[in-house]
């Protein structure tokens, strides 16, 4: 399935750049139901997953990034690994002062309505012209950035300076590094500031995990990390559902996925909700396609019945 980027609605067009900005970009987010200011800590576009459905535009640099990911130890991967290989270090560095200044500027522009004078945001309906969250997301796994702990502190500080306690802090993560000591310390701070961790779980078994997320880290480690996080912090689960070469996840695969969530709950983990979403933008692999609304509703009903968890569904439009 192919998409014409220009024909996508504003909620579906999420470039991780904004005119002249390096680290912060505004999106009208379906999940946030308003404006989310994305914080991109991955100027190298490094990720330790290579999800088949990834909707990050890696363009020309994709082959180089994939080579870097393939040769990076998944346990220790850090943006530094890639930065060291790059001749232009400035282009790779996260400048926290720039980040804080951009976040402050875009937050103010959203609050006073200036943002909606920009052509791309001019048709946003009034109910969505609300600043909902600051979200670590962007072009790769945010916790890979060596400055992640300092960036957490900066987000908390910017929100405090703006006097906007209702603006949520969100970390969108693939769970690979949630138990590393420096990340735990940062996320304790994040949690104390009412931050929410939205962690990816795309599979219920190692085989599907390998085929969907194409990561070298063992699947069991991902589940352990999510269990650790769910016992310690506020956690939501995000799961991508789609068809590949015309095949949607089988009932047996989805049952395994529900079982993993039940195991996390049985072990004492607290999961606030689950978010099932399908493809809304251009995926990494051309044979990946969105599911229909009916298919999504079917998975949601099963998930609710099998786990008792609240389920939010995000369709392809
Ligand atoms: S974890 Fe996120 S950024 Fe990384 S490949 Fe998967 S979808 Fe893309």
What's the residue count for the chain? 317
Determine the pLDDT at residue 66: 58
Is residue 152 within 8 A of residue 189, CB to CB? The reply is: yes
- Tell me how far apart the alpha carbons of residues 100 and 103 are, in angstroms, rounded to a whole number: 5
Q: Indicate the pTM of the whole model.
A: 0.88
Determine the pLDDT at residue 44: 75
Q: 172: CA distance to ligand 1 center in Å?
A: 10
Q: What is the pLDDT of residues 93-142, one digit of tens each?
A: 789 999 999 999 999 999 999 999 988 899 999 999 999 999 999 888 99
**pLDDT band, very low/low/confident/very high, at 247 (cuts 50, 70, 90):** very high
Residue nearest to atom 7 of ligand 1 (CA): 54
Pairing verdict, β 311-314 and 271-277: parallel
Average pLDDT, the chain: 87
Determine the pLDDT at residue 291: 97
DSSP H/E element including 64 = helix 62-70
Q: 139: CA distance to ligand 1 center in Å?
A: 7
Determine the pLDDT at residue 42: 86
Architecture per CATH, domain 5-314, reads as Alpha-Beta Barrel (3.20)
Q: What is the mean pLDDT of residues 54-68?
A: 65
How do the domains of the chain map onto residue ranges?
5-314
Question: CB within 6 Å of ligand 1 — which residues?
Answer: 47, 49-51, 54, 56, 140-141, 174
Determine the pLDDT at residue 138: 81
Residue nearest to atom 3 of ligand 1 (CA): 140
């Amino acid at each position: 399935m192919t998409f014409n980027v220009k024909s996508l609605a504003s909620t579906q067009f999420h470039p991780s750049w904004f005119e002249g900005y390096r680290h912060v970009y505004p999106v009208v987010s379906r999940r946030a139901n308003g404006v989310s200011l994305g914080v991109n800590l991955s100027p190298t576009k490094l990720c330790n997953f290579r999800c088949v459905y990834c909707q990050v535009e890696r363009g020309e640099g994709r082959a180089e990034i994939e080579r870097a990911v393939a040769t990076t130890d998944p346990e220790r991967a850090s943006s530094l690994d890639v930065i060291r290989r790059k001749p232009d270090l400035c282009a790779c560095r996260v400048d926290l002062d720039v980040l804080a200044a951009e976040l402050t500027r875009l937050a103010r522009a959203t609050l006073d309505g200036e943002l909606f004078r920009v052509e791309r945001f001019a048709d946003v309906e009034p109910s969505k012209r609300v600043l909902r969250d600051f979200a670590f997301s962007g072009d790769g796994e945010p916790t890979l950035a060596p400055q992640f702990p300092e960036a957490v502190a900066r987000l908390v500080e910017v929100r405090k300076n703006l006097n906007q306690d209702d603006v949520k802090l969100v970390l969108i993560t693939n769970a690979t590094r949630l138990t590393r000591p420096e990340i735990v310390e940062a996320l304790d701070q994040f949690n104390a500031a009412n931050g929410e961790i939205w962690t990816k779980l795309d599979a219920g078994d190692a085989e599907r995990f390998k085929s969907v997320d194409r990561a070298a880290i063992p699947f069991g480690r991902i589940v352990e990390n999510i269990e650790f996080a769910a016992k310690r912090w506020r956690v939501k689960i995000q799961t991508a559902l789609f068809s590949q070469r015309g095949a949607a996840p089988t009932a047996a695969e989805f049952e395994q996925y529900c079982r993993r969530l039940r195991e996390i709950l049985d072990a004492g983990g607290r999961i606030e909700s689950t978010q099932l979403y399908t493809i809304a933008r251009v995926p990494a692999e051309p044979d990946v396609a969105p599911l229909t609304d009916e298919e999504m509703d079917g998975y949601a009903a099963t998930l609710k019945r099998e786990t008792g968890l609240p389920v939010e569904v995000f369709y392809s439009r």
